[in-house]
Structure 1
Amino acid sequence: MTATATHRRAALRTRVEGRRGRLSRPGTRHSLRARLVAAVMLLLATVCAVVGLATAIALRHFMLDQLDDDLVSAGGRFVSIQNGAGPGGPGHPDDRGGRGADFGADFLGPAQAPRTVGATIVAGQVTDAVVTDRGGSLQQVPADALATLAAVPTDGHPVSEDLGDLGTYRLLASVDGSGTVLVTGLPQADVDHLTELLVVAESIVIGLALTGAGVAGAIAVRRELRPLEQVAETAGRVSALRLDSGEVELLERVPAAHTDPGTEVGQVGAALNRMLDNVAAALDARHASEVQLRQFVADASHELRTPLAAIRGYAELTARDRTLSPTVAHSLSRITSQAERMSTLVEDLLLLARLDAGRPLERTPVDLTRLVLDAVSDAGAVGPDHRWRLDLPPEPVVVLGDTLRLTQVVTNLLANARTHTPAGTEVTVGLRTPADPADRAVLVTVSDTGPGIPPALAAHVFERFARGDGSRSRDRGSTGLGLAIVQAVVAAHGGTVSVASRPGRTTFTVRLPAPAIPVPDGPTIPLPALATP
């Protein structure tokens, strides 16, 4: 993979994660089912509230109209009695400014309803104010309500006022022929009480209706959205597939019952099926291209081995001629060196092509302790200017795998540490098992105290032909395939490899599965001098 393609994939991943972040805001974390039910419930609650409020207002207005009709009738009887009495008659103030002695009896008239209030007001002052009771007798209006009675407007429109202990009354003020203001009032308690009962009843009914509608709506929405959930399940199963490499059989499809173009869910299902068809076709084309490319690399590598071996042989044979000039001898040595380097590159490409093709590896018990000891000893001989250290457990560590390929993994990691760190760097090779007994794995670590890997390169060190500036020097002999081979071999063993780097500390960690197999018998392996802690 080229650097440009890698950057494009990273940019695409960033854009997708940004969109996911925008879509996962707190206001949109609820499911579609919950939002639909909430929207329906909100609309239903709004409609019920409007209907209930309109009903309560209409009922109250109707009852107030009836009360006002009764109040007008009661006021008319009061005015008729007062006008019939004439000046100085009952209820009219006498010369001494007192109340008429027969005001109460005259106020009752033909028949005033219980709890009816009657008052006369002269020059803004209440001269008489009584209220009937259920027994037909009269009671004086409390003094704290007189000011309210005196303030009732005389425009002929009933008003509602609070008369203290008497409660809320509907009051109507009229003027008789003598200019006296006559105030008549009827209690409004029945209207208020019935309105409150209506509001309570409506609240209970609306609450029960909303509860039932919510349950029924949730069931209905769940049933209607079930096809969409099945579409999502299909997409989820596809997303769980490994599509990055190898042959992929993309057989998942949305059932035909959920691809009806006449419904919104059917349109989504049909679109998803079309997309999966396109993806399946692209994966088949990609796999065919990969197979063709791997076959080409394998064939080319295999065919190049013979001419490269011939070049090296002829160069070495010609170099034995002692009559060659120094210039020719130098050219032959360079030819031999480059032929060896190209042979290594061809072998690496051939190995990667075979691993990509899924060629099975040998599966035998491998003593990693002995393997690490041999690899470090060889590395110490090749790189004497580095300090090599071992961190091994007291007991041998055994895994199931291919001895030759696992040796190549450790050798490549040690060569990488030797090649890309300056002289005097300390390289430590560790071997251990996790502390958790349930985690059956073996960890091989290669750490160095070199300058570290640049962050921009650390994410791509296991890619093929990924090389830092220092590794491009031809005298170091790097092909950029060493760590790619490490990853491919470890993956073929069912393991993983990772790197953590900072200035002064770089650690490659190989994690291999460790099946329960017996430790092979053999003599104890003595630790060489370089393993001294």
Structure 2
Amino acid sequence: MSSRLSGVVVPSGPAAGPAGARRRGPFSGWTLRRTLVVSIVALFALVTLASGLAMSALLERSLVAELDSRVASTATRVLGPEGRRDDDRRGPPADAGQRRPLADMLVVVVRGSTVQTNTVATRNGGSRSLSIPQVQALLQAGLTSRPTTVDLGEDLGRYRVVGVTTPDGARVVTGLPMHPLEDSVRQMRLITAGLGLLGFLLVGIGTALLVGRALRPLDRVAATATRVATLPLSSGEVDLAERVPSRDTDRRTEVGQVGAALNDLLDHVDVSLRHRQESETQLRRFVADASHELRTPLASIRGYTELSLRDGQLPGDVRTSLERVESESARMATLVEDLLLLARLDAGRDLAREPVDLTRLLLEATSDARIVGPDHRWRLDLPEEAVEVVGDQARLTQVLVNVLANARLHTPPGTTVTGALRAEGGEAVVTICDDGPGIDPALLPTVFQRFSRGDAARARTQWSTGLGLSIVQAVVTAHRGTVDLESRPGRTCLTLRLPRA
């Protein structure tokens, strides 16, 4: 779906964006332990911050209300019952001591053009009278009997003030400073911040310890799964003894449910692997027995065929038929020998362990290939010193012969085949490369499988059984080595790596 607007096609739907990329969450890629710890600590920080702000606001409101009450009471102390200032009385009244202004109170009296102010305390501990701009700021603030906040500058700070007019027409402004209130609120905020930071650290450490302890069973379950994942389960006999400890399989808990489910899965996998191993063992035994039993009748067929061919009076068609029988019996004998070798290697039969000169083996195998395939160009790249490995000479010879035969059979005449040998660290590296048409990339993953045959572009004959490279991989693996194959048009290279010791 797409929507068209002003000639511009705008993608719509869930796949909009670069290739429908999925949005990743804020905790993507985090471990469960980190996610829980960060989430809990972040929640604690938000609650602490909100509580601190609320407490600060409530305290400030309470202190302002108390200050307003004091401002109203101080205004009453300044003004007499008749609405006049104490200083205007001819004699001190009986309650003058009670109505005397507070030491930190601001008093401004305006009568006509005369302005009278008292001395007020500054924030740094001194005292002074109000300046003209400060008096003007008070008079222009539109004060009433309700307390109002007025800022009188950095030295005096903010004041809560009220303004009243006496019956004789005088304008009286009284107020109290707010910096004690502000200092109290600031101190409370600092204390709250300090306690919040301390609580933040304690909650972080405590949460990490508690979450780590709570997730310890899950770590043991993950460790069991990791150990199982490293086991060679693809082939051969597998001893799948790994299980989640019984203490981590309590189905009443979430982790226990995971542990119990993993144990059930491992039990099923163990049973399946045992059945597979039994089937593979029976199949190997059958192939080995069948191959062994077929060797005798095939040898008899070849022997009788060779004996019959010695008769010079055989008709032409009979001789042709016998030659065909001899050829097919030889091919069948080779196939039987290859199957028997693979069955023995699969069964883990030990190979001979003796010093083998790979330089001489490669030289002899290339010489034989040159005689069998004179229409190919054969080249060698050998080191000056001999390269030796410890292994089975007959099997390693078969490996080199198979690789060279594979290059000869699956490339057209005129192809150059180059065999190279070098010592690389603790390994002997053999490379057989040709400049033929290459292998179809779709066939590369299966070239080492049994009875795998190349594509028509490389295969010039159907005589191949498809076991050559399978034997190469099986023999090299039995020698604790590796086989790699790279192919592209104009270059196909097979690399054998064998340990030298």
Residue 92 of structure 2: aligned partner: none
Report matched runs for 1:97-496 at 5 Å: 110-120=99-109, 128=115, 130-133=117-120, 140-154=129-143, 156-164=145-153, 165-177=155-167, 181-320=171-310, 326-434=316-424, 439-470=425-456, 475-496=461-482
One-letter identity of the residue aligned with 1:278:
H
Preserved contact between residue 412 and residue 483 of structure 1 (Cα < 8 Å): yes
Report matched runs for 1:24-43 at 5 Å: 27-43=27-43
1:501 aligns with 2:491: no
| SS across alignment from 2:288 | helix
| SS across alignment from 2:461 | helix
Residue 63 of structure 1: aligned partner: 63
One-letter identity of the residue aligned with 2:149:
S
1:464 Cα offset (Å): 1.6
Preserved contact between residue 152 and residue 173 of structure 1 (Cα < 8 Å): no
1:144 Cα offset (Å): 2.5
Q: Which residue of 481, 498, 501 maps to 1:512?
A: 498
1:33 Cα offset (Å): 1.9
- Residues 391 and 129 (structure 1), Cα distance of their counterparts in 2 relative to 1, 3 Å cut: farther
Distance 2:30 2:148 in 1: 51
1:121 Cα offset (Å): 6.5
One-letter identity of the residue aligned with 1:269:
G
- Residues 177 and 476 (structure 1), Cα distance of their counterparts in 2 relative to 1, 3 Å cut: same
Residue 76 of structure 2: aligned partner: 76
1:391 Cα offset (Å): 1.3
Question: Under a length normalisation based on structure 1, what TM-score does the superposition of the two structures give?
Answer: 0.80
Distance 1:148 1:218 in 2: 57
1:190 Cα offset (Å): 0.3
1:315 Cα offset (Å): 4.4
Task: Give the structure with the larger helix fraction.
Answer: 1
- Residues 81 and 115 (structure 1), Cα distance of their counterparts in 2 relative to 1, 3 Å cut: farther
- Residues 454 and 79 (structure 1), Cα distance of their counterparts in 2 relative to 1, 3 Å cut: farther
Preserved contact between residue 472 and residue 478 of structure 1 (Cα < 8 Å): no
| SS across alignment from 2:83 | helix
One-letter identity of the residue aligned with 1:264:
E
1:345 Cα offset (Å): 2.0
Q: Where does the alignment leave 5 or more consecutive residues of structure 1 unmatched?
A: 1-20, 92-106, 516-533
1:442 Cα offset (Å): 1.0
1:333 Cα offset (Å): 3.6
| SS across alignment from 1:459 | helix
Q: Judge which range, 184-193 or 56-65, deviates more.
A: 56-65
Distance 1:191 1:138 in 2: 19
1:461 Cα offset (Å): 1.7
Distance 2:136 2:325 in 1: 124
Over residues 396-446 of structure 1, what are the superposed CA-to-partner deviations in whole Å (9 max), with x where a residue is unaligned? Answer: 222111111000011111011111122122111111111xxxx32111111
| SS across alignment from 1:509 | strand
Over residues 322-360 of structure 1, what are the superposed CA-to-partner deviations in whole Å (9 max), with x where a residue is unaligned? Answer: 565555544444443333323222221111111101111
Q: Judge which range, 48-57 or 300-309, deviates more.
A: 300-309
Distance 1:405 1:233 in 2: 41
Distance 1:203 1:139 in 2: 36
- Residues 288 and 85 (structure 1), Cα distance of their counterparts in 2 relative to 1, 3 Å cut: closer
Distance 1:498 1:213 in 2: 55
Distance 2:458 2:419 in 1: 25
Preserved contact between residue 154 and residue 175 of structure 1 (Cα < 8 Å): no
One-letter identity of the residue aligned with 2:76:
G
Distance 2:27 2:173 in 1: 60
Distance 1:110 1:195 in 2: 29
1:283 Cα offset (Å): 1.0
One-letter identity of the residue aligned with 2:49:
A
Over residues 75-108 of structure 1, what are the superposed CA-to-partner deviations in whole Å (9 max), with x where a residue is unaligned? Answer: 234454773479xx959xxxxxxxxxxxxxxx99
1:240 Cα offset (Å): 1.6
Preserved contact between residue 148 and residue 162 of structure 2 (Cα < 8 Å): yes
Distance 2:97 2:412 in 1: 120
Over residues 371-417 of structure 1, what are the superposed CA-to-partner deviations in whole Å (9 max), with x where a residue is unaligned? Answer: 11111110110011111111112222221111110000111110111
